[in-house]
Amino acid sequence: MSSNKALVYYIVASLLIYHRVNSYNFFGNRSQYRCNCVNGCLEDGSCKYKNYGCQENYFGQSCQYVDVASMAKKNTVYTDRNYSTCYSNDIPIEFEYSYKVTFSFVQLIVMELALTSSYKHNEIVLHFKHDQTWITCKHQEIWEIDTKMTRIFCFDQTIVFDKVVISGPGLPYVCEVYISLGRNIGLKQFVKVKIDSGEDIVPANDGNIESCYKSKIQKPLQELTFYTPSWVYYINAFRTFNLRIYPFYGIDEYQMERFSVMMELLNGSTTNIADVTDTNSQVNIPLYISEIRSIKINNATINAVNYYNLNFCEVELYGDCKQSTYGLDCDKRCHCPEQRCDSDGYCYMCEEVNGINVCRKTCQQCASPCSPSGECIECKPGFKGLHCVQLCANCGGTFRCDRESGVCSKVGGCVTGFSGDLCDKTCGSCDGGACDRQTGACLHYKCQAKYRGLKCDQKCSHCSVDGSCDMLTGNCTFGCIHGYRGDVCLLECSNCAGDSSCDRFNASCNSGLCNPGFKGADCSDVCTNCAGKGECHIKTGACLSGCNPGFKGSHCSQTCEHCINGTCYPDNGTCTIGCLKGFYRHDCERTCAHCIDNNGCHNVTGQCFKGCENGYYSPTCNEVCGYCAGDKSCDRVTGKCSSGCKAGYTGDYCKETVIEETETESVVLFYVTFLIMIGIVFFFLFCSQKIFWYCSLTGRDSQDSKQKILKNSQMTTSSEFFSGDSREESFLEKYAFLK
């Protein structure tokens, strides 16, 4: 709640049936509070016997809140007040009314311990219908009262509705639903009643519907002013006044016919929020009036109009304490850090979860008493934070975590399926669910089907059978499903006809056929410019139905570039209409060469219409004139030079050169001969020098050899060499050349 927001309130002016009888018990130092318990209340307002609970249409710790959920057109299993009947379904819960209703909060009773486990309280959504308009709560705040109870507030706006729908993922955990109208904060507060007849007035907020004011004279001037309690600072804008009228039966002089409701503003001025005018003697039973005004008021006034009767049994003002106060009289100040406390003064701390404030009671999860501000000395297992209202995320073992950082204890680790210091990271699709707390790697090195990676957090591609693949490489175990290929089956089969399947490794289509417009073994190449359905031969690529206009060739890859309108016959390339200016031949691929003034040529023969440009001849003007004398052109038909040839050229066309010996040629011949003679002289000189050097070197080598042999012969003994005649003869023969 915003600190400047005041009471949620609701005015009910109840003119009840005359003979209806009820008795109520009261408590408080002035007996100013009504007891709504089945078997009475204690002095503090709590029920004597908790097992008996509250009277019908009331709820709360002291049965102080009016429940409009039980007043809906149709009762549901969520209003049977049996906390054990919880229905595990996700069907939206609906409450519909025949009149307009407002509320202060919605209270849900959920499965035991659901708030600390899987109950998705922040995913419960309230939708309200006002006539044909649907309204969604913009500023939703959720209070966790205990492990079985949560309350949903809708702040910063007043919602009037005739139907409410509760939906969201948290529904399977809901057992009971209460919709609070608030509590009667106007009971026995100051009321001023003014009449002209001087009759005694019975207070209209005494809590007893048996004591009704009935005028003794017909059509007196009457005014009843209901002042808001002194502890109500003001009633904020966008709140709803809902009048519920029950006229008397059978007594025409007491019949209420016309009245108005006036609001006095803080500045002293008044505003009219409702007028009831009925000329008939009978008013519909009951008559409901709802009006919304952006006003801040001090009091509410109900007036008779034009002397018509004003008959009241009871007037009730419903609301609750604003954020910074608590208590039965809302006269106690809340000393919580965020100024949020319940009717008993317990502090609540909030944190944002998915854009919604989720508030939890402080001290509730403290392991020991807490300070007046709600700060815990030590948290209970499973909780953290200054006020121990934040949950330890998925800690295992004793569920303990560090109070400040939220790090789960090393002993307990994380519950199965989570990792990280805070155990806030979800394990991948591990077989068995468990993963390493630090790395997140699956403990058993095995993934569930269709997943891969050390953390099993990556999906296998398009694998067949059970979708499984190698944990590390991602290669599909049983091949690919139709339409995919490759080791990991990530690549698509391109444009294969039939069942769209292809070879896993070379991508060739299994059917051997391509979808229209494609070719190649893997059908990845596009048939270009083919007519009809765009089909071409899967292997050669030849178009099966010819070419689109403007293209030619078996593959339709060539354009009819120089044809008029760009069209030609695709089989032979012949232009259908003719050639563009400057081109000729059947396919218009040849250029009209050097025609005078670019006047074009015949589209078949290529003959220039007006002859050739200077310097060219022949019918197609593609021959170049020779070296005609006087820089004159040749005949444009024959190519002959009529003026003769330039010097050095001869022949009919002056294209042949004349060979003449000149002085320059004689000089060149002389120098060439001279150089040859010098070369011969140098050659002979070089050779004679080489021969002389070789001969002298050979002579020295012969003398040196003789000296070495004589020296060796002297080193041997005479007995070795001359032991017999035969050896002597042999020696002499061997060395005879030394003589």
What mean pLDDT is predicted for residues 324-352? 78
pLDDT digits (tens, 9 = 90+) for 243-263: 443 333 334 444 444 455 555
- Strand bridging mode 356-361 / 139-144: parallel
Model confidence at 291, in pLDDT bands (50, 70, 90)? very low
Answer whether residue 326 shows pLDDT above 60.
Answer: yes
pLDDT digits (tens, 9 = 90+) for 207-246: 776 666 665 555 444 455 555 443 333 333 223 333 443 3
pTM given for the model: 0.47
Model confidence at 699, in pLDDT bands (50, 70, 90)? low
Answer whether residue 614 shows pLDDT above 50.
Answer: yes
Answer whether residue 94 shows pLDDT above 90.
Answer: yes
What mean pLDDT is predicted for residues 175-196? 75
pLDDT digits (tens, 9 = 90+) for 374-413: 677 788 888 888 778 788 888 988 788 998 889 998 888 8
Predicted local distance difference test score (pLDDT) of residue 460: 93
Distance CA 635, CA 646 (A): 16
Q: Whose structure tokens read 């000089």?
A: 667
Tokens of 497: 């006809």
Q: Is 387 left (phi over 0), alpha (psi -120 to 50) or beta?
A: alpha
Model confidence at 436, in pLDDT bands (50, 70, 90)? very high
DSSP calls for 621-687? S-EEP--BGGGPPPPTTT---TT-B-TTEETTTT-EEP----HHHHHHHHHHHHHHHHHHHHHHHHH
User: Could you give the 3-state DSSP secondary structure of residue 728?
Assistant: helix
Higher confidence at residue 395 or residue 31? Answer: 395
**Is-contact 238 295, C-beta < 8 A?**
no
Identical fold at 64-183 and 191-320? yes
Q: What is the DSSP letter of 244?
A: E
Predicted local distance difference test score (pLDDT) of residue 84: 80
To the question of domain 64-183 being in CATH 2.60.120.260, the answer is: yes
Q: Is 588 left (phi over 0), alpha (psi -120 to 50) or beta?
A: left
Segment (H or E) for 316? strand 314-319
Q: Which of 5-9, 60-64, 216-220, 656-660 has the lowest mean pLDDT?
A: 5-9
Mean pLDDT over each residue of the chain, to the nearest integer: 74
What values do phi and psi take at 698, rounded to 5?
-70, -40
Distance CA 130, CA 120 (A): 27
Model confidence at 53, in pLDDT bands (50, 70, 90)? confident
Segment (H or E) for 383? strand 383-384
Predicted local distance difference test score (pLDDT) of residue 454: 92
What values do phi and psi take at 706, rounded to 5?
-60, -45
What mean pLDDT is predicted for residues 32-59? 85
CA dist 573 to 527, 546, 551, 667, Å? 19, 12, 8, 63
Task: Give the residue among 547, 546, 579, 539 at the shortest CA–CA distance from 563.
Answer: 579
Predicted local distance difference test score (pLDDT) of residue 456: 94
Model confidence at 486, in pLDDT bands (50, 70, 90)? very high
Answer whether residue 737 shows pLDDT above 80.
Answer: no
Give the Cβ contact number of residue 581 at 10 Å.
13
Higher confidence at residue 666 or residue 716? Answer: 666
Three-state SS string over 128-189 comes to EEECCEEEECCEEEEEECCCCEEEEEEECCCCCEEEEEEECCCHHHEEEEEEEEEEECCCCC
Task: Give the residue among 320, 10, 365 at the shortest CA–CA distance from 151.
Answer: 320
Predicted local distance difference test score (pLDDT) of residue 713: 45
Three-state SS string over 482-524 comes to CCEECCCCCEECCCECCCCCECCCCCCECCCCECCCEECCCCC
Distance CA 380, CA 685 (A): 121
Model confidence at 673, in pLDDT bands (50, 70, 90)? confident
Q: Exposed/middle/buried for 174, CB within 10 Å: 0-12, 13-18, 19+? A: buried
Predicted local distance difference test score (pLDDT) of residue 664: 57
Distance CA 161, CA 135 (A): 9
Predicted local distance difference test score (pLDDT) of residue 275: 52
Model confidence at 447, in pLDDT bands (50, 70, 90)? very high
CA dist 431 to 3, 395, 421, 450, 613, Å? 52, 21, 22, 11, 89
Higher confidence at residue 108 or residue 690? Answer: 108
The domain locations on the chain are: 64-183, 191-320, 592-661
Predicted local distance difference test score (pLDDT) of residue 113: 54
**Is-contact 641 633, C-beta < 8 A?**
no
What mean pLDDT is predicted for residues 13-23? 33
Distance CA 590, CA 604 (A): 10
Answer whether residue 480 shows pLDDT above 70.
Answer: yes
Q: Which of 5-9, 367-371, 438-442, 586-590 has the lowest mean pLDDT?
A: 5-9
Tokens of 365: 């999860």
Domain boundaries 191-320, CATH class: mainly beta
What mean pLDDT is predicted for residues 27-40? 83
Cis omega (within 30 of 0) for bond into 381: no
Distance CA 228, CA 11 (A): 11
**Is-contact 633 658, C-beta < 8 A?**
no
What values do phi and psi take at 672, rounded to 5?
-65, -45
Distance CA 122, CA 128 (A): 18
Higher confidence at residue 460 or residue 700? Answer: 460
Answer whether residue 173 shows pLDDT above 80.
Answer: no
Predicted local distance difference test score (pLDDT) of residue 695: 57
pLDDT digits (tens, 9 = 90+) for 526-570: 998 898 888 888 888 899 888 988 898 888 988 888 898 888 988
Alpha carbon 43 to chain centroid, angstroms: 58
Predicted local distance difference test score (pLDDT) of residue 120: 55
Tokens of 24: 């109520």
Q: Which of 217-221, 429-433, 649-653 has the lowest mean pLDDT?
A: 217-221
Task: Give the residue among 187, 164, 174, 204 at the shortest CA–CA distance from 68.
Answer: 164
Predicted local distance difference test score (pLDDT) of residue 474: 93
Model confidence at 344, in pLDDT bands (50, 70, 90)? confident
Model confidence at 725, in pLDDT bands (50, 70, 90)? very low
Tokens of 474: 């991602």
Q: Give percent above pLDDT 90 in the chain.
A: 13
Model confidence at 677, in pLDDT bands (50, 70, 90)? confident
β-bridge partners, 452: 458
Model confidence at 268, in pLDDT bands (50, 70, 90)? low
Model confidence at 271, in pLDDT bands (50, 70, 90)? low
Model confidence at 104, in pLDDT bands (50, 70, 90)? confident
